[in-house]
Amino acid sequence: MDFELGHISPAGMRFAELAAEHAAEFSLTAARHDRENTFPAQNWESMRRSGFLAAAVPRDLGGLGVTTVHDCVVAISRLARGDGSTAIGAAMHTTALWYLARLLGQSPPGPGGRRFAAGLRLLLRRCARGRVVACVAISERGAPIGEPRTLAEPDGDRYQISGAKAFCTNSPAATMFLSSVRIPADGTRGRLGFALIPRETPGVTVREDWDALGMRASGSGAVAFDSCVIPAGLVLPSGPVGTLSADILPLAMVGALVLAGAFLGIAESAQAIIVDTLSGRRADPAGPASLRPALAEMVGQNEVDLAVSRGVAGRAAAILDARLDDAADPAGEPAGLHALMKEVQCANMAVKRAAITVVDRAITVSGGGGYLSSNPLSRLYRDVRAGLFMQPFSVLDAFEYIGRVRLGDNPSQNG
């Protein structure tokens, strides 16, 4: 595609190549899984075998060594051109592994830090060998992302975790859940934390109950934790409940932008479909001799929206890559990170809203054919609407957050 986002590193080039190969493969079965509301387990097996799922694992631990947010956005956008449902799950898995690789380089000194780093290296090596699929289990019905009800009760050198999560994308394939938890603390509402919960832990229940308007093959069902006991080293405290701390903001920023890449890819796919359709009509001897001006205008409007979306997403990714490690102010307050998060949320909303508009126009240009279930545009039309509901942040929170940061208010959490 002309002027598409491109990789910026050799590792990113390989990641994007694998994404394009998988997109071509997954596009062949995407309609069937959407129609039958089934989870494409074979897609995840294919990504495991190719090394795609180990993209963010450091090279010395057996992965591709992708470190830049920009290259993650590019690869996920490529993958989404073939299957948006698989792409959003791959985006969350990739973000989780990127975050764990980042933590490896920030392990605190001392015996505790060395044990933590050793555990992370083991986990990342397992991912490089195709044994780890991460599911980000953050959302809870009726609860802001910074205020989980899922409890992590300390018990000596262990934690006991109980709670329920919703919208757990790719949970049928997951071997590990990255879950937000509330750690009780005297005199406070508790501390926010993140727990790495292996699927085989007694008390983990994956409910394959996903049945939605779009993203029907994403496996975004509920997951329950019933008194799940895990080692203390698998729980990372991340500041007070109700805050977006310096620990959580990098994960939230990268997660939002990489997910936005999936919706950019869906819009690019819709534009490619109508361009191919119109070109085919003109090449047909029985077809129209010229293109109707109204159709050409809509294609042109889509090109503008795609160009803007690529520019905004690429700029936000470049800013994150340049500033993520030094954005916190000297006092340790995440003011600089909130300013970065504002830019990410501007890009997040700009890309997702433009993607919906692009697919809407594609349906109109199709002349009604795209409204038929047999046309891939009908699936893209439903899939692309999921973007505005996705955290962090959904459309209900994003604009308030952007405005508060711009007005000099330091948001306590997601709005």
* pLDDT value of position 332: 47
pLDDT single digits (tens) 220-257: 999 999 999 999 989 988 888 988 888 888 999 999 99
Domains in the chain (CATH in brackets) are 10-128 (1.10.540.10), 134-240 (2.40.110.10), 249-406 (1.20.140.10)
Report which of residues 258 and 115 the model is more confident about: 258
Between the CA of residue 17 and those of 21, 24, 76, 303, what are the distances in Å? Answer: 6, 11, 11, 24
Alpha carbon distance 155, 230 (integer Å): 10
Q: Identify residue 357 by its one-letter amino acid code.
A: T
Q: How many CA atoms lie within 13 A of 260 on its CB side?
A: 32
CB 99 within 8 A of CB 180: no
The model's pLDDT over 358-385, given as tens digits with 9 standing for 90+, comes to 999 999 999 889 999 999 999 999 999 9
Listed residue (116, 121, 133) closest to 169, CA to CA: 133
pLDDT for residue 1: 58
Q: Is the pLDDT of residue 110 over 80?
A: no
In terms of average pLDDT, the best of 143-157, 234-248, 285-299 is 143-157
